Amino acid sequence: MNSSHTAEVEAPQAGARRIFNLISAELGLVEEEFERQARSNIQVIAYLGDYLRASGGKRVRPALTLLSVYAVGGDASRYNAVRMATVMEFLHTATLVHDDVIDNAVTRRNRPSINSRFGNQTAVLMGDWLYMSAFETSLAERSLPVLDILTAVTRKMTEGELLQLTLLGRTDISEEQYFDVLERKTAYLFSACCEIGAILGGASEDEQAALREYGMKLGTAFQLVDDLLDFTATDEVLGKPAGLDLVEGKLTLPLIYLLEEEPRMQSRVQAIMREGNYQRVTREELLEAVEATGAMERARRRASEFAREARNSLDRLKDSEYCDALRSIPTYIIERES
């Protein structure tokens, strides 16, 4: 049983540094593998691959894959683990590129998005290329369980995007519908990273199930916090415009709770969605209402619940510094500011 809780009292930045330092050599190999896989004799693909890799990101998904391999006693420095960790980042990057096209996003991680810089056609095809490259690479693993997970998660992510499109601009969305989209778009990929890591590390069925569940709960907490930050953070901190979810017609959990408490706010929320700006109702007014009704605090509590459930899932694993690192990630996610 894992009973170590030392990381929970660390500052989030210190906790994140400690986690990533533990696998810094392996993450360096992932960067090299990303560059190798993104090479192409088609010049535009090579250029776009370099552009995406340089855009960075936290590499949370490869880190989860690598830590999961180690947490069940495997060796994440082996090439197949590095290769699959890179595949998970390719899948994530493909979804971001396609999402930005759908959302008409202008920036991503403080840089122009692929679609705004190179056009929608190029972005869609680049996203497709990333998906196909991820599957081509994963075929080398010759593992049906791994391919099953990748196929299922790709389908879930696409379903999540389609479901979200059917709910755009609506203010009558239930908490259940919100979580259904969130799980498909984000949590299943986290779960797949952890479960594939477990398979590569030679996990028992129980360990594999524990890490699958951990990833699901962690991914849900991660996206919930992301949605909260859309309310509370600045453009600079987020690396993209803040308050964009509502302008794009997406109703997130704090607003679902707000409209439960204050149905009369519905027309104001609809005005922001309809007009695509905060001219009639400012972000500050909305944030004030979300805070005053307790909707924000209620949404924060939900995120904390999922983080706690993620940590509890790991009680079925043997104690190790890698399991301890996995245990501290939910705390880092809940307390992050970007």
Per-residue pLDDT tens digits for 107-134: 887 788 899 988 999 999 999 999 999 9
Within a domain: 1: no
User: What is the pLDDT confidence band of residue 136, given thresholds at 50, 70 and 90?
Assistant: very high
CATH number at residue 101: 1.10.600.10
Within a domain: 50: yes
Within a domain: 147: yes
Question: DSSP class of residue 243?
Answer: T
Q: What's the mean pLDDT when you consider all of the chain? A: 90
Per-residue pLDDT at 84 exceeds 90:
yes
- pLDDT score for 239: 63
Residue-wise pLDDT tens digits, 40-70: 878 888 888 888 887 767 899 999 999 999 9
Count of the separate structural domains present in the chain: 1
First to last CA, the chain: 32
**Do the beta carbons of residue 72 and residue 198 sit within 8 Å?**
yes
Residue-wise pLDDT tens digits, 158-195: 999 999 999 999 999 999 999 999 999 999 999 999 99
- Tell me which residue range forms the domain holding 234: 6-335
- CA 321 to chain CA centroid, Å, is 24
Instruction: Read off the pLDDT of each residue in 19-46 and give the average, rounded to a whole number.
Output: 89
Within a domain: 242: yes
User: What is the pLDDT confidence band of residue 4, given thresholds at 50, 70 and 90?
Assistant: very low
Residue-wise pLDDT tens digits, 239-289: 666 788 899 999 999 999 999 999 999 999 999 999 988 888 888 899 999
Reading the block at residue 22, the tokens are 């533990």
Strands (E) located in 64-197: 107-108, 111-112
CB burial of residue 224 (10 Å; 0-12, 13-18, 19+) = buried
Within a domain: 160: yes
Enumerate helices (H) and strands (E) in the chain, giving the number of each: 18, 2
